Each structure stands twice: as C-alpha cells, then as structure tokens.
Amino acid sequence: MRPIAYLDHNATSPLRPAAFDAMAEALRMGGNPSSVHASGRRARATVDKARREVASLCGAASSEVVFTSGGTEANNLALSGAGRRRVLVSAVEHDSVRRAVPHAEVLPVDGDGVLDLAALERALATSAEPALVSVMLANNETGVLQPIREVVRLAQSAGALVHCDAVQGAGKVPVGLRDLGVDYLSLSAHKIGGPTGVGALMVRKSAPLSSALRGGGQESNRRAGTENVAGIAGFGAAAVLAASTPDLAGLRDGLEFSLVQIAPPAAVFGAGAPRLSNTSCISMPGVPAETQVVALDLADVCISAGAACSSGRVKPSSVLEAMGVPATEAACAIRVSLGWNTKAADIECLIAAWKDLYLRVKHSDISRADPQARAA
Amino acid sequence: MTAITQIRRNDQPIYLDYQATTPMDPRVLEAMMPYFTHKFGNSGSRSHAYGWEAEEGTEKARAQVAKLIGADEKEVIFTSGATESNNLAIRGVAEFYKDRKNHIITTVTEHKCVLDTCRHLEQQGFEVTYLPVRQDGLLDLDVLRAAITDKTVLVSVMAVNNEIGVIQPLAEIGKICREKKVFFHTDAAQAAGKIPLDVEALNIDLMSISGHKIYGPKGIGALYVRRKPRVRLVPMIVGGGQERGFRSGTLPTPLCVGLGEAAEICMKEMEAEAKRLKKLQERMLNGLRAKLTDIVVNGDLEQRIPGNLNISFAYVEGESLMMGIKNLAVSSGSACTSASLEPSYVLRALGVEEEMAHTSLRIGLGRFTTEHEVDTAVDELVRHVNKLREMSPLWEMAQEGIDIKSIEWAAH
C-alpha cells in the first residue's frame, strides 16, 4: 500500500499517540465525574487533571476552562453567553461565529485578510452601547494571523469585551489568555491532535458568562451535561504537547516556492501578512479547486478546497471574497495544511502530483483530458 | 466474560450505579478504535478518502441508532449527549413555533436538564405546566388530557425515570398528543436500549438518547426528530451546518460509531438481558426483604426497568449508609445533583416524606452485574442497615411501638 500524504490538518489532525493513551485509560476506567463514590471520584480526578493541562496551555487558571463538545459550541457559547447585544466580527470569521450572530456588524479586512483596525475603531465609536468584538486568532483557510492585542486595546478603551476563536491558532502560536488580553478564547481538541467531540471555552474570571446548555451543574454551572471524560483526557494530553510544536515554516515555504516555480502565475493568498507556519492557501490559475482536489486525491494526497464544514458545497470561499480576490481566481484556490506528523516526503508527493496535473492541463484542455491518464 | 473481569479489578468497589453511567462494552470500544487511529478523517471533508471513510462510519452509526427506535436514519441527529438533546428538543420547538403557541407541558419528576430548560423558557415568557405524578411515579393520563390547551405546542415526558426507573405510559401519552395535535418529546436517556421503543407505534415526535447510559461513550447522544409530520426546530449550535443544519460542529466520528454499536448490541440483546436483570432485581429485593423489615421500594415495581431499584431503609440516614458500604458504588439519587444534600425532588413528588426520602438508595444493575455481586451487596447492605439502626433512637422507639409521628420535637 502506498503511503498517503495527509495535508489537511486544519480540517482535523490525526490523534496523537499520547492523547490516545490518555483516552484509552479513561475509557477503561469509566465512571461519572458527578457521582460521589470512588468510581465517580476517579473520573473527576481525570477531568481535573486535563483541566489543569488545558489551562496551562493558555496560561490560565483551571477555573477559567469550560469544556464543551468542540470549537463550534465554544464559539456559540461565547457569543450568546457574553450577554452583549451589539457584536462586531471580522469578515473572515468561521461560520460558527458568523452564523451565531447573524445581526453582527461585519468589519472589513485588507487584501491579505488582516482586520482593518481603523474600521474597528470607527465602529466602536459609533455607539455607546457596550459591544462584544469577536476576531479569530488565525484564519482556517489562509492561516493569516489577526492583530489580537491591538483589537483588545481598542476594544477595552471602548468598554467592549473580546472573544477570540483560537481553534486554528492553538498549538501553532502562543494562546495565552492574558498575553492576548482577551476575555474569551475558543479551543478545539481535534485541531491540536486531540479527539473530535471536545473543545473548551476559556473564560476570564472577570468576564460574564450565561450558560446555553441547562441541566446538571457541571462545569461550575456554565455547561450542563455529563463530561466527556475520555475526550477531555485526550484533550489534556494533546494540550501538553501543543505547548511545543515544531516550526513547519521551512516545509511550508519550500512547498510554496516549488509550486510557484512550477506554475509562475500561482498565487499564495495572505502571503503578505504574518501567517501560521502550517497553512498554505494557493491557486493553480485556470484549474478549478475541485479538479485539483480530485487529481491529488487520486495521487494519495489529501488536501481541501476550503473549510471542511462547507467542502460539500460549490460556493466560493467567503474568506477570499472578503480579501477582494476575484471569484474566478478564488475558485482555483486549494488549502494545504501541515501538522505534527507531516514529513518532507508528504510535501514531495504533493509537489509531484501538482506538477503532473499542471503540466497536463497546460498541454491539453482539461475538459478533454483522458481520465485514465489523469489517474496515472 | 473475560473482558468483563478486565473492567473491574478485585480491589474496586462493586458498581451498582448504572443509571449514573455505564461501563463501556468492550465490543463498543473495539468498533471505535480504528476511528481514533487510522480512520481519523473529518466526516465533513468531501475531498479525500479520509473524509469519506469517516462519513461511512457516522452514517452506519446513524442507521444503527435509527433501527433501535424504528426511525428513518434521516431523522437522527447526533448531539454531545442527552442534556444537549433535551435542551435542543424543548427550546428548539418552543422557539420555532412561538408565534402560534407558547405552552409546554412536562412533569415534576423530569431530569434536571428538562426542568431547567423549561424554567429558562418561562423567564422568556413561555408558559409551562409541571404535572404532578401519582404515588407510583406514573403520570395520570386524565391530568395530562386536562392540561392540554390550544396554546400547547409540546408535551415532554421522560420514558424512564433516572432515579426510580418507572416507565411512563408512552403509547397512551403519544396517542393523546397526536389526537390533540401537540408534539410529544420523550427523554429516553434511561430507556433506549433497555425497553422496546418504536417511534411510530408510540407516536413519538422527538426522542433524546444518551451514549454513556447504554454502554457507549460519554460525549455523544442523539435526538430523533420526526419528518412526517415534520417537526421543526431552531438550532442551538450554528456554524458549518452539519446534521442538516440542526446541529453544527465537526462530528466526533469515533463517538458516533460507539453510540451506533452500543445501540445495535442493546437491540440484539435486549430481551435476554431484560430477563437476566429481572432475576437479579428480584434476587436483590428478596434478599433484602428476607433479612430486613421497614424497607420500601419507591415507585411502581412492575412498570419499571429491571435494572433499577430505589429503596428507602427506614430509620437509616442514606448518606451514613453510603459511607458505610464503601465497597458498593451506589448513589442516593441523580448523579447530577448528588453533590447536594437536599432530599430527592423525585421522591418528594411521589409523596415520600422527607425523613423517608433521606433514607433512600438508588441501586442500578446492568450488563456486567453478576449474581455474586448482588449477593455481596445484599450482605453488605443488611449488615450496615442493622448496625445503623442499632444506633438509632428512632428505631428503638419504633421497636417499642411508639408512633414517631406523634412525637413533638423540642426546638433547639
């Protein structure tokens, strides 16, 4: 069997062995953390340990961690739980932010996808009503980093709270709750080598939070429901490892350099701004992203044409649209995302397959290309 | 049974708290394993084989869950657990139909997450009727019928109670709701996989299911939402639009697969397991009754799942008893509220007096409970109840024939 090059870590990252071990132990142990007997207390201790581990990744106190079912729930919880009617979001936020606050004022980004801080300042000044500002740490499609500290500075002087969706940033750049200065910070376990089905909302002690899921008093009355003990244990183990992730910029930059050399008109989106070292959003002009994805998949290279949540749809990326990328060009953009187990060989597979496709397209009309040849 | 001995080491207490959570069935873990390791894809990734493989896993699981309750797989939504399912069902329906109808009916013995959701809706201006239950813990159908008005949008009645295990008359409730054109939601966290449930036969419109109560993993549940006639909901968690827009968020593939496998095992083994548990339940109760007087089973014993007993040991303080029987993992009520020392609101709703409610234990039996464990538990309970009663002045007075209720307590 040919090895597969998995380069879609921003969709989901394979489970780290240490996270798997922590989960296996918790699964074997069983127990409901709310039960007072020994079995329950053991489960409680597992949850408490993981809470310290996740808190430590964010330089926060254990009491500032609210475990959720994932990043989507964490984002939804922050936006509804902060209790602010007036919400400002950037134009490149994930759907779990945009759709949670359909009434929000949308702030523009520049050509690299970086938030327009002057627009934020103006928007904050238009109303005396205290707002919630929600800006992501790193974009899921381009990896572009937002100037969170400046956002916080502007927001604080206007009496606004700040939520930061750090789902894609965690494990790749520092996510200190106090260093960033935000009031709320969302995390997802499966984007940092933990399991799917678990995430956390970090909530500063000073920040208000009304719960969305009601029931038992779990998570200090902030999120009801029996804790996903094994998932939380796996999250904790992954958080420990996420504190020191190897720099992938070398591999990523090498990849981009090679692709642009193969196809000089290829464009790297967000390249002018500080970016995550693992993400590349790049276009092969004239070749639809779906064609690239299929061709690469046949060559056992896994990438995506945008966010996994919306990858079933043939809709141009709203992120690239907000950056002012023409629709025809955006339709040719793919996302390559590296992770903890990416090797140089994976990148070489991608480069070879991409080159193969590009040369075939260049020498023949793609619509008439022989499918047999494409599969080769 | 070798796998089962692996679950419980000899130095661990006997687990008799199957309503709080169940140990995972080793077969469930086996089904989940590949999805943790090499089949780790995001089921939303449509562009490569990892995504397709994950989607195959979640869709098979969806069909397994649907089959357990006689539903179509398109009618099953995965959630993070029964708490979320209950929140979504009740709030989702209430908010969708609020312009036309604003009245919800539930019972006083529901799980805390149903009651809390209803209380929250009351604050939002909805009207909620909390129906009482009879002394046996069951809903009086005439009381239900009388409570339904032309403003009623939803009736939410749990299938099986988490503290006393009684089974509500679902078929009759379903029939009444259908006649009156009111949606019927049932919290089946404690019922699914333990008693036959058919959403068609029972006229159920929404049903909540939990993974970890049926030997599956924690962090996963399901909500059944009827398509014909269609039930509509306002989603609580929005984003990528997964689960047909009802519930966004990346699906936790291994957990979905675990829930599906757990559902299939329950379905296959339900009949035999129910018979086995009924015998164990009888063995436990007969054993206790043979050696102890003044014990009362709370809730109807016939209309009840065989894996539950809730017993008041008169003149014995429940918390002291629990402290004594250290090698039995039991509870004095719901795990979610177990940190509080308040007497169970479920028992109070049955008319159990506060003193008796304080003396009660919930004993949960399940798939891995053995006869030997039941016998050991009976011996332990008898020994400690007798010891505590010997120290109790109330027990002494009762033995002398003094009516405790006639005593006037001096304030101090």
CATH number at residue A313: 3.90.1150.10
Question: What is the mean predicted confidence (pLDDT) over B334-354?
Answer: 78
* Whether the predicted pLDDT of B191 surpasses 50: yes
**pLDDT classification of A3: cutoffs 50, 70, 90:** confident
CATH number at residue A206: 3.40.640.10
Q: Comparing A346-360, B81-95, B227-241, B311-325, which segment has the lowest mean pLDDT?
A: B311-325
Which chain B residues contact residue A7 at CB under 8 A? none
Q: B113–A214: do the CB atoms touch at under 8 Å?
A: yes
| Claim to verify: residue A214 and residue A152 sit in the same structural domain | yes
**Domain spans of chain B?**
2-22+270-392, 26-265
Write the residue in B41, B238, B252 that is nearest to A197 by C-beta.
Answer: B252
CA B397 to chain centre: 38
The pLDDT assigned to A344 comes to 95
The pLDDT assigned to B259 comes to 98
Q: How far, in Å, CA of A363 to CA of A343, rounded?
A: 31
Which chain A residues contact residue B250 at CB under 8 A? 12, 70-72, 188, 190, 196, 308-309
CA-wise closest residue to A272 among A93, A109, A140, A89: A109
Q: A217–B254: do the CB atoms touch at under 8 Å?
A: no
| Structural domains in chain A (count) | 2
Q: A36–B86: do the CB atoms touch at under 8 Å?
A: no
Which of residues A242, A276, A300 is at a domain's end? A242
The pLDDT assigned to B411 comes to 54
The pLDDT assigned to A376 comes to 38
A to B CB pairs, distance under 8 Å: 264
Q: Comparing A33-42, A128-137, B271-280, which segment has the lowest mean pLDDT?
A: A33-42
CA distances in angstroms from B335 to A14, B161, B317, listed in the order given: 34, 13, 18
| B210: nearest CA partner in chain A | A226
Write the residue in B87, B252, B336 that is nearest to A217 by C-beta.
Answer: B336
* Whether the predicted pLDDT of B1 surpasses 50: no
- How close B393 comes to chain A (CA, Å)? 28
Fold matches, B2-22+270-392 and B26-265: no
Which chain A residues contact residue B48 at CB under 8 A? 8, 293, 297, 302-304
Q: A229–B218: do the CB atoms touch at under 8 Å?
A: yes
Which chain A residues contact residue B326 at CB under 8 A? 38
* Whether the predicted pLDDT of B203 surpasses 70: yes
CB burial of A162-174 (b: ≥16 within 10 Å; e: otherwise) equals bbbbbbbbbbbbe
Which of residues A193, A220, A242 is at a domain's end? A242
| Claim to verify: residue A196 and residue A264 sit in the same structural domain | no
Write the residue in B17, B113, B248 that is nearest to A216 by C-beta.
Answer: B113
Q: A34–B339: do the CB atoms touch at under 8 Å?
A: yes
pLDDT digits (tens, 9 = 90+) for A274-298: 999 999 999 998 899 989 999 999 9
The pLDDT assigned to B337 comes to 57
* Whether the predicted pLDDT of B364 surpasses 80: yes
CA distances in angstroms from A133 to A138, A199, A343, listed in the order given: 15, 21, 38
| B3: nearest CA partner in chain A | A28
Q: Comparing A27-36, A223-232, B362-371, which segment has the lowest mean pLDDT?
A: A27-36
| Claim to verify: residue A273 and residue A212 sit in the same structural domain | no
Q: Comparing A108-117, A248-257, B355-364, which segment has the lowest mean pLDDT?
A: B355-364
Structure tokens at A323: 């950056």
* Whether the predicted pLDDT of B400 surpasses 90: no
Q: If DSSP states are collapsed to H, E and C, what string results for chain B?
A: CHHHHHHCCCCCCEECCCCCCCCCCHHHHHHHHHHHCCCCCCCCCCCCHHHHHHHHHHHHHHHHHHHHCCCCHHHEEEECCHHHHHHHHHHHHHHHCCCCCCEEEEECCCCHHHHHHHHHHHHCCCEEEEECCCCCCCCCHHHHHHHCCCCEEEEECCCECCCCCEECCHHHHHHHHHHCCCEEEEECCCCCCCCCCCCCCCCCCEEEEECCCCCCCCCCEEEEECCCCCCCCCCCCCCCCCHHHCCCCCCCHHHHHHHHHHHHHHHHHHHHHHHHHHHHHHHHHHHHHHHCCCEEECCCCCCECCCEEEEEECCCCHHHHHHHCCCEECECCCHHHCCCCCCCHHHHHCCCCHHHHCCEEEEECCCCCCHHHHHHHHHHHHHHHHHHHHCCHHHHHHHCCCCHHHCCCCCC
The pLDDT assigned to A147 comes to 98
* Whether the predicted pLDDT of B333 surpasses 90: no
| Claim to verify: residue A320 and residue A305 sit in the same structural domain | yes
Question: What is the mean predicted confidence (pLDDT) over A65-80?
Answer: 98
* Whether the predicted pLDDT of A155 surpasses 70: yes
Q: What percent of chain A has pLDDT over 90?
A: 85
Q: A34–B20: do the CB atoms touch at under 8 Å?
A: yes
The CATH code for residues B26-265 is 3.40.640.10
The pLDDT assigned to B2 comes to 38
- How close A9 comes to chain B (CA, Å)? 9
- How close A256 comes to chain B (CA, Å)? 21
**pLDDT classification of B410: cutoffs 50, 70, 90:** low
Q: A214–B12: do the CB atoms touch at under 8 Å?
A: no
Q: Look up the domain containing A118 and give its range.
A: 17-242
Q: A303–B329: do the CB atoms touch at under 8 Å?
A: no
| Claim to verify: residue A158 and residue A32 sit in the same structural domain | yes
Task: State the average pLDDT for chain B.
Answer: 93
First to last CA, chain B: 56
Interface test with A, best of B7, B47, B52, B321 (most A CBs within 10 A): B47
Q: B21–A215: do the CB atoms touch at under 8 Å?
A: no
CA-wise closest residue to B49 among A103, A113, A235, A11: A11
* Whether the predicted pLDDT of B6 surpasses 50: no
Q: How far, in Å, CA of B156 to CA of B141, rounded?
A: 13
The pLDDT assigned to A374 comes to 43
* Whether the predicted pLDDT of A232 surpasses 60: yes
Catalytic residue list of B: 336
- How close A86 comes to chain B (CA, Å)? 18
Q: How far, in Å, CA of B328 to CA of B296, rounded?
A: 20
Write the residue in B117, B218, B253 that is nearest to A226 by C-beta.
Answer: B218
- Catalytic residue, from A58, A302, A309, A349: name it: A309
**pLDDT classification of B37: cutoffs 50, 70, 90:** confident
* Whether the predicted pLDDT of B373 surpasses 80: yes
Q: How far, in Å, CA of A296 to CA of A310, rounded?
A: 19
Question: What is the mean predicted confidence (pLDDT) over B187-197?
Answer: 98
Which chain A residues contact residue B24 at CB under 8 A? 27, 30
pLDDT digits (tens, 9 = 90+) for B107-147: 999 999 999 999 999 999 999 999 999 999 999 999 999 99
Interface test with B, best of A188, A309, A340, A350 (most B CBs within 10 A): A309
**pLDDT classification of B357: cutoffs 50, 70, 90:** confident
Question: What is the mean predicted confidence (pLDDT) over A148-170?
Answer: 98
Antiparallel, parallel or unpaired: β B308-313 and B295-297: antiparallel
Per the model's pLDDT, the better-predicted residue between B255 and A364 turns out to be: B255
Interface test with B, best of A226, A294, A313 (most B CBs within 10 A): A226
Which chain B residues contact residue A100 at CB under 8 A? 238-239
Q: How far, in Å, CA of A232 to CA of A237, rounded?
A: 9
* Whether the predicted pLDDT of B3 surpasses 60: no
Which chain B residues contact residue A218 at CB under 8 A? 336
Q: Comparing A35-44, A184-193, B65-74, B201-210, which segment has the lowest mean pLDDT?
A: A35-44
Q: B116–A94: do the CB atoms touch at under 8 Å?
A: no
Dihedral pair phi/psi, residue B86, rounded to 5° = -65, -45
- How close B335 comes to chain A (CA, Å)? 5
Per the model's pLDDT, the better-predicted residue between A244 and B155 turns out to be: B155
Q: B236–A212: do the CB atoms touch at under 8 Å?
A: yes
Give the orientation angle of helix A148-157 with respect to helix A117-125, to 10 degrees.
20
- How close B343 comes to chain A (CA, Å)? 15
| A231: nearest CA partner in chain B | B219
Structure tokens at B157: 């009645």
pLDDT digits (tens, 9 = 90+) for A9-21: 999 999 999 999 9
| Claim to verify: residue A33 and residue A180 sit in the same structural domain | yes
Q: What percent of chain B has pLDDT over 90?
A: 80
| Claim to verify: residue A288 and residue A236 sit in the same structural domain | no
The pLDDT assigned to B4 comes to 43
- How close A157 comes to chain B (CA, Å)? 30
Which of residues A242, A264, A299 is at a domain's end? A242
Q: B83–A30: do the CB atoms touch at under 8 Å?
A: no
* Whether the predicted pLDDT of B396 surpasses 70: yes
The pLDDT assigned to B336 comes to 55
Interface test with B, best of A1, A32, A201 (most B CBs within 10 A): A32
CA-wise closest residue to B298 among B328, B322, B318, B280: B318
Question: For tokens 């109560």, what's the residue?
Answer: B213
Q: If DSSP states are collapsed to H, E and C, what string results for chain A?
A: CCCCEECECCCCCCCCHHHHHHHHHHHHHCCCCCCCCHHHHHHHHHHHHHHHHHHHHCCCCHHHEEEECCHHHHHHHHHHHCCCCEEEEECCCCHHHHCCCCCCEEECECCCCCECHHHHHHHHHCCCCCEEEECCCECCCCCEECCHHHHHHHHHHCCCEEEEECCCCCCCCCCCHHHHCCCEEEEEHHHCCCCCCCEEEEECCCCCCCCCCCCCCHHHHCCCCCCCHHHHHHHHHHHHHHCCCCCCHHHHHHHHHHHHHHCCCCCECCCCCCECCCEEEEECCCCCHHHHHHHHHHCCEECECCCHHHCCCCCCCHHHHHCCCCHHHHCCEEEEECCCCCCHHHHHHHHHHHHHHHHHHHHCCHHHCCHHHHHC
**pLDDT classification of B157: cutoffs 50, 70, 90:** very high
| A42: nearest CA partner in chain B | B12
The CATH classification of domain B2-22+270-392, taken from the options 3.30.420.40, 3.40.920.10, 2.40.50.140, 3.90.1150.10: 3.90.1150.10
At position A172, the amino acid (one-letter code) is: K
Q: How buried is residue A325: exposed, middle or buried, by Cβ count under 10 Å (0-12/13-18/19+)?
A: buried
The pLDDT assigned to B403 comes to 77
Q: A70–B250: do the CB atoms touch at under 8 Å?
A: yes
pLDDT digits (tens, 9 = 90+) for A340-375: 999 999 999 999 999 999 999 888 754 444 444 444
* Whether the predicted pLDDT of A310 surpasses 90: no
